[in-house]
Each structure stands twice: as structure tokens, then as C-alpha cells.
A and B are shown apart, each in its own frame.
Chain A
């Protein structure tokens, strides 16, 4: 009779590989959803007078809205205005990082620092959800890097395709994939009355504030959502006491 001895190290490796694969698979629908956006950015870079700097923004800025705004503002408003606009739009990344910090307080600092440059909207949305269900700290790290690196690579490739193909890929309905992905992330939060109020308040401000300067509507929406959530927490506390 033969017995198979499973080395604890190989079990950990297999758990890590499996978590990284799950992360890559989890981000895949969001890659599809954000593909049209990347193609639009690529087309804008191709049409710009600063193609090298514009394309380098995919890695240096690594945020679609800010990159697009910087590329366009460089053409029309100059470098100083482009920097202010880009930074204003990316202020929300501080909120994402702070929110992830709350979930990752037991993670080592090396992970938090190496994970930080890859924080961007879709990765944040996936990581925030997974932080609650991760089976272990190690699996959480592998899952995060699996999803974040997949998006980073796919994003660069999609922008390069956008530069080459311009708007020729439009018209296949991909423009609705991004909202559907985000809807799938928000949906479960509608079951709890307290988070439902946060979702509705934040969504309403994001839509009503569409005419605000780029990026500020999202910040205003987040602030409003937080205010509603905190006031509901306070009300619940008062009712208990």
C-alpha cells in the first residue's frame, strides 16, 4: 500500500497559485467592461501631438479618466492645467487606498506598499469585496496581485490596440459592459437597508454632479455616501440606547 505525503510547502504554493488564478478570473469581466474606455484613450493618444508622453501615461498615471483628461488638456489648456486636472481626478485614489487600508490592517507593510501602485477603480472594487471573504492573509495577497497584474497588463495591451485601431472596434455593445460589471459589484450591497441608503445617495450625487469639473462628481458622491452612512450609524446607535 502506498501513501502520498503532501508537503505543507506545496499545499501553500497551490493555495497561492489558486488564489492568484481566482483573482485573474475575477477581474476578467471588468477588463472586458473597461476595454472600450481603454480603446478610446488609445485613440486619443494616437490623435494627440504628444504620443510618447500620452502612451507613457498608461503606466505612469495608471488611471483612465486622469490619463484621458491629461492627454486632452495638454492639447487645449497647457501643462499646468493638465497637471491640476489629472491630480484632481486621481484624488479619489486616496479614498480607495484608505478604504483598502482598513481591510488590510493585518497585512505586512511590504504588501501594502507594493500593492499601492496598482490600486485603480476595478482593482479596488474587486479587492474590497474579496477582503471580506479571503480565506487567509496569504490568499488575499495572491488574489490581489493576480487581479491587479492581469488588469495592468491587459490595460496596456488594450491602449496599444486603441492607438493602432482607433475607434474601429466600436459598435459591438461593449460600452454597456462596464456599467454591468459595476452593477454586479454594487447589487449585493442593496440587500442591507443601511448600505442601500449609501448606494442611492452616492449614485444620485454622481449622476446629478455630471456637470462638475472632471473627477469632482465622484469625490462629491463619495462624501455624500459617507455622510449618509455615518448619520444612519448614529441613528441606529441612538435607537439602541
Chain B
């Protein structure tokens, strides 16, 4: 029973975190400095997610293969390739290099 209460409490709290800023957006936007802060918040959030996700992946995957896949992915991204291309090329490279390393070592 306490497990259900805990899950529901976190669910309600999470819903509040999601709804309040969006419901009161019209009051929030236009306040001094808020626009500037929020503009950078989006970029910072996605960058933080990408970095911590890479960091987590480095624990469970082949690091050299991950580095190559990430570097190639970054080059493709900077050249304007789609996310699907970046993921497909990166994933294939990762699997080929990881298998190659497993075979050699």
C-alpha cells in the first residue's frame, strides 16, 4: 500500500512540475531576465542529458568504439545530417569496432 502511495505522490508532484510553468506561461514570460534564463535553460538541459547519457554509456560499453562512434556522430551532426543518419552510422560503427576489438583482444 505504501508503495502505491509513494508512486502516486511522485506522480502528482511530477504533474505539478510539468503543469505549473506551462499553465502560467503568460505571467512568466516578459518578466525581467526570465526570457534570457529560459532560452539558455533548454540548451543547457539537452547538453546535460547528452553528457550524462554518454558518461553512463561509457560504463557499460566499449570505450574506444564509443569514442569513435561519438566523434563520427558529432561530425555528421555538424554537417547537418538527420538524427536517424547519426544514430544509424554511429550504431553500425560502434558494433563493428566493438566486435573487431573483441575478436582481436
Contacts and interface: CB of A to CB of B under 8 A. Distances in A.
A25 B84 CA distance: 10
Given A113-B22, A178-B53, A206 B48 contact: yes
Contacts, number: 295
A98 B90 contact: no
Contacts of A173: 61, 91, 94-95, 98
Contact of B45 (A90, A99, A115): A99
Chain A interface extent, by class: 35 or more
Contacts of A1: none
Contact of B74 (A57, A66, A187, A202): A187
Contacts of A195: 40, 43
A83 B9 contact: yes
B83 interface: yes
A90 B87 contact: no
Interface string B60-71: 110000100110
20 contacts: A29-B83, A61-B7, A70-B7, A86-B9, A99-B41, A102-B29, A112-B22, A174-B91, A176-B91, A177-B87, A179-B53, A179-B54, A180-B91, A181-B83, A181-B87, A185-B46, A198-B43, A202-B47, A203-B50, A210-B55
Interface of B: 2-11, 13-15, 17-26, 28-29, 33-55, 57, 60-61, 66, 69-70, 73-74, 76-78, 80-84, 86-87, 90-91, 94-95, 98
Interface of A: 26, 28-30, 32-33, 49-50, 52-54, 56-57, 60-63, 66, 70, 74, 78-80, 82-83, 86-87, 90-102, 104-105, 109, 112-113, 115-117, 119, 121, 124-125, 128, 172-191, 195, 198-207, 210, 217-218, 221-226, 228-230, 233
